[in-house]
Every structure is written in structure tokens, then in C-alpha cells.
Structure 1
């Protein structure tokens, strides 16, 4: 059974699925913490601002799911950004998460190089993935950068946690385009599981140097609890992460019911852009007068389109003179 932190007794897992949500959870007997996200309308809005090829839309959907999982580690005020730069057909992806639950994103790609059915790693190519976190409270800014070496976002996230955070972690991402009576729509899901024991993992045995080639090194630093949790999480199927009829609580119960799983209050996720008329106007004021004159279109006005939400705003050049 699942239970919330403020409940003294266990209760059945809720059968009601919640779209555009982030569900934190814990498996206390195994020292596991995790987050499950299910994105429906929010993901569909992000993936349809542009007429992305299906392969590019799926890649951007994975980025949105990963950004939600990592950005939600900021509990209240702050920002998280995922950004890629690579030599593949999709040369840049940017996804922003504003705590507690605002999400936006876009992908820049070369349509002539995108082929149907391309794998995420082929689309990204080789480059780097930058993860940036900003806390409003203390104006602190943290950034981690990992190389992209022809793999997708889940594999890159695993490398990031191994190298930067040194926290045993598992990431699963899924994207699906569904067909309903109302039309076609995109759905996105993601699972993050982390091992956070009270004591650190035991260090890996060092190679003694003179051991025979047939000797195997001990891998006991992978605690039994993490191995068990990882094995359970790895049974998750892609269709379960994006199934609108399967609640997040029931999915977690199916994975961890033998050990018991605790769920915490759901956080709502919405697609929301930071752009505003005032912000863009202030940006235009920072340009030199001649630069602004060069921006004037055939209609005699300055037009600015947001890369994220594609909102077009027009300004009278005289307002800046």
C-alpha cells in the first residue's frame, strides 16, 4: 500500500491518474528516494509550438521530462535549465523549469539532416549537456556539464550523477504520441530513483597490480539495497510511464509494494513562458538606436517573436527614441 507522510496508516493506491504532475516518493526500507512525472497538456503544448518532425518532438519530450525530474529538486523558488549543444541534426535544446512548477522549452534543428526514426543519440550527436541550477534565496548558481557522446538523455543523466553528484541514480524517460477522439496529442513520462543511505557506499576495491588476469575485483560497493531498488525500477515499461489510465501511485505500488512505498503531495506542472512585453521592451532599449532602426520591418514596426512560445510582439520604434 502507499501512504503519505502525514498519514499514520497505510491506504490503497489511488486509481486516479493525474496529468501534468510530479509525484515525490520514498522506499524507506531501501533508502531510496525518487520522483515520477506524467506530462500531458503541458508537454503537448511545448512539443507543438513548432512543427517538429516526430523524432525531434520525442527528443524534446525526453528533455522536458528530465528537466522536470531534476528541476523539481528545487522546492520553492529558483530556476533550473537543461541545455545541449551538439553536432547532430538537433544542435541545441533548451528547457527551463521555474520552481515550483513552470516549464518551457524548444529545440533548434536542421530539417534536412533529420531522418524518420533517428535515435536520440544520433539526433544530438557529440557535444555537451549543461545543467544549471539557480537559487533565488542566496543568488547561488551551480552548473554541471557532461559530454554527449552519441547517447540519449537518460544515459547522459546517468553519467552526470556518476561524475558530478556521485549518487547512485536511475533515470527512465518515455514519450508517446496518442490518438484520441479529440485528435492526436503528446504524452511524456519520467522516473528518477536515487540511493541516499545514511552511510556512504563502501569504496571500490583497488587493483593490487600484481593479481593474475583471471582475478575478479569485488563490486561490493553496490549495496544490496541499491541493487534491489535498481532491479525493481528497471522493470518499468515505457507505456506505463505515459498511460493516461494508470495512476502514478498504482505504478509505484506495482514496482515497490513488497518493500512499501511512501508518496508525498503531488506538485502541479504547467507550461509557462517567462517572456513579457515589458521585458522585451527593456531589452530593445539596451540596443543602439541604429541597431533598433535595422530591426524595423516592412510594416514600420519592430517585431520580436519568443523562441519558446512563439508569441509575436510588435513595438513602435518611436517609443524608444
Structure 2
């Protein structure tokens, strides 16, 4: 089913933008995103092993979907801390559009999993936790929610987070792809692409949002969990999103508008103004200099090599050089 933007007077969001939408017939609100140059710049800058790049790209997609929902000037940070080969992922979104990301990992362990064909996201992360932090500024209290990571995907993390902290039925799909293009007479060119869609069930009657309780893991054996029927509208909406294929989220030729129309045209989907995403880092010479000024003379001396202190930003890879006096 094709979507004609001119017919509906809609300007396509294009790459690197989040498109909010609602499906009133199913009491659903959501966001869809397509990332092109932004995700390619982030991944290419770090040059991580392929499975680590894919995992970080998924985290960037999820952060884009969640961070752009902020209704105020602030920051949304997604961070993992685990015992797996990828011990940490950090994705930082600053409203209205700036995103940056990096990862920490043990290269030898990642390579070993790759050689064994077992470098799945779950294996790379291992066990630990994922924290989502909302910072509304220095005069407002920060909010942080945490989800245990026990061999689950980032998609499942989002579902559990909203089920436990917000009690909102949520479904999410994330995908990462690689594009190979070749112009006549030139070597093949490689780039990254990624996309995602998130929907939430938000009916006017709160009792319709009731969900089956998550298994706490300590119930007596063969305990009867009781009958539970989810709302028909949510069942339908979730089933539609579950049909989305990775290629539909990563193919630059398939716009988010086309995807949303294919999924929900029978119920009527309303599109809202897209929100752009940009590859921007918050680091600066002034920020780093202010941090260096908090160090003791002994600490500064330990950091000095041949009379210089070189600080490299883990997010954007920019290097800043200072003399030991901080200039």
C-alpha cells in the first residue's frame, strides 16, 4: 500500500528525523524514526567491530524515539553497565535535536564471539542494568528508571521499562542495516542506516491499559496466574507493529510515512510535525578546561606528557591539547 505525500499535503520527514503519530481508532500514540547520515557519522567515527556498531546503533535509535518525546529543554541519557564484552553503552540526547554515543568493550572477547558466530546483542551485553535518566536542568530534580539486563534485547528493555515504571503497554521495533552502493568505475561504498517504531496504548479509560503481571520469578511451581485478556485495540496495534520487517525500517527508499500508512491506513493514522536529529557533541575546550581546574597539582602532573595534557572526547573523538598550567 503506497502513500502519496501530495495527496495528503504531508511533507516527508526524510532521514534523521522522528515522526510522531497517533492512531485514534486504536487509542495508540507513537513515534517512528529513520536514521541515515547521523548514524553513519557516529558509527564511522568510532570504527568499532561490526557487532558493537550494530548494538550501539540500536541504542541510538531507541534514544531518538524516547529523547524526542521531552516537552522541555533537557537531556535524556541511556546507559548500560554490564558484565558482558560490551561493558557500557552511553547515548546522550540533548533537546531539541543533539545526539551523541559511545561504547566501552573488550576487543578480544568481542572477536572471540564473532569467530564463534555468537556475537548476539544479548551475548555482548551480558548481565547488568540499563538506566534511563531524564535531566530537566540544574533547578529541577533528575528522574532515573532502571531495567535489569539478563539476556534480553533492547526492544524488550523498552517494553519492561514502560510496563514497570509507567504501566503503559508499549511495543517497539529497532533495526540496523548496512548499505552498499557502487558508482560506475568506483569502488563499492559502505554506509550505515537504522530505524525504529514505538507505539503505546493510551486509552481514555485507564482500566483498559491493564497488563498481565510480569513474572517475579519466585512464584510457587505451577501457580495459576489466572485468566487475562488484553484490550482488543491494543492486541491489534501490537500485532501490526510485529509484522514490521527490518528492511522496512532501514531501507532509505521506504519513508516512515509509507510505513505508517501501510500499517494503520485502515484505522486512520494522524501524522505530526517531524523532529530532526543531529550528530552534535556537547564537549568544548571551555568545559574540559573547567574540569582540569578541579584536579590537584599531582593529578595534573600525572596527566602531563612532554609538557602537554591531551584530552580526547569519547563521544566525538575530538582531541584538546593543554599545557600543564591548563592553557
After TM superposition, the score normalised by the length of structure 1 is 0.89
Indicate the SS of the match to 1:278. Answer: helix
- Contact residue 124 and residue 152 of structure 1 kept, 8 A: no
Asked if 1:219 corresponds to 2:228, the answer is yes
Write out aligned runs for 1:260-275 (5 A).
260-275=268-283
**CA offset at residue 163 of structure 1?**
1.0
**Aligned equivalents of 1:215 and 1:276: distance in 2?**
58
Change (3 A) 1:179 1:190: same
Change (3 A) 1:205 1:238: closer
Asked if 1:178 corresponds to 2:174, the answer is no
- Contact residue 201 and residue 223 of structure 1 kept, 8 A: no
- Contact residue 16 and residue 246 of structure 1 kept, 8 A: no
Q: Name the residue aligned to 1:80.
A: 76
**Aligned equivalents of 1:30 and 1:85: distance in 2?**
37
Structure 2 unaligned blocks of 5 or more: 183-187, 214-221
**Aligned equivalents of 1:314 and 1:214: distance in 2?**
63
**CA offset at residue 193 of structure 1?**
0.4
**Aligned equivalents of 1:15 and 1:92: distance in 2?**
38
Indicate the SS of the match to 1:259. Answer: coil
Q: Name the residue aligned to 2:216.
A: none
- Root mean square deviation, CA, Å: 2.5
Query: Greater CA deviation, 150-159 or 179-188?
Result: 179-188
**Aligned equivalents of 2:225 and 2:39: distance in 1?**
46
Asked if 1:144 corresponds to 2:151, the answer is no
- Contact residue 171 and residue 190 of structure 1 kept, 8 A: yes
Q: Name the residue aligned to 1:7.
A: none
**CA offset at residue 130 of structure 1?**
0.3
- Contact residue 2 and residue 262 of structure 1 kept, 8 A: no
Q: Name the residue aligned to 1:40.
A: 36
Change (3 A) 1:174 1:259: same
- Contact residue 78 and residue 135 of structure 1 kept, 8 A: yes
**Aligned equivalents of 1:49 and 1:214: distance in 2?**
51
- Contact residue 129 and residue 149 of structure 2 kept, 8 A: yes
**Aligned equivalents of 2:129 and 2:271: distance in 1?**
34
- Contact residue 13 and residue 19 of structure 2 kept, 8 A: no
- Contact residue 80 and residue 97 of structure 1 kept, 8 A: yes
**CA offset at residue 318 of structure 1?**
3.0
**Aligned equivalents of 1:131 and 1:215: distance in 2?**
34
Change (3 A) 1:205 1:102: closer
- Contact residue 194 and residue 249 of structure 2 kept, 8 A: yes
Indicate the SS of the match to 2:45. Answer: coil
Asked if 1:56 corresponds to 2:65, the answer is no
**CA offset at residue 165 of structure 1?**
1.1
**Alignment match of 1:315 (pick from 294, 300, 322):** 322
Would you say how many aligned residue pairs link Structure 1 and Structure 2? 307
Structure 1 unaligned blocks of 5 or more: 5-9, 207-212
**CA offset at residue 217 of structure 1?**
3.2
Query: Greater CA deviation, 253-262 or 113-122?
Result: 113-122
- Contact residue 293 and residue 326 of structure 2 kept, 8 A: no
After TM superposition, the runs of 4+ consecutive aligned structure 1 residues lying more than 3 A away are 1-4, 10-17, 202-206, 213-217
Indicate the SS of the match to 1:156. Answer: helix
**CA offset at residue 201 of structure 1?**
2.8
Asked if 1:238 corresponds to 2:246, the answer is yes
**Aligned equivalents of 2:224 and 2:43: distance in 1?**
51
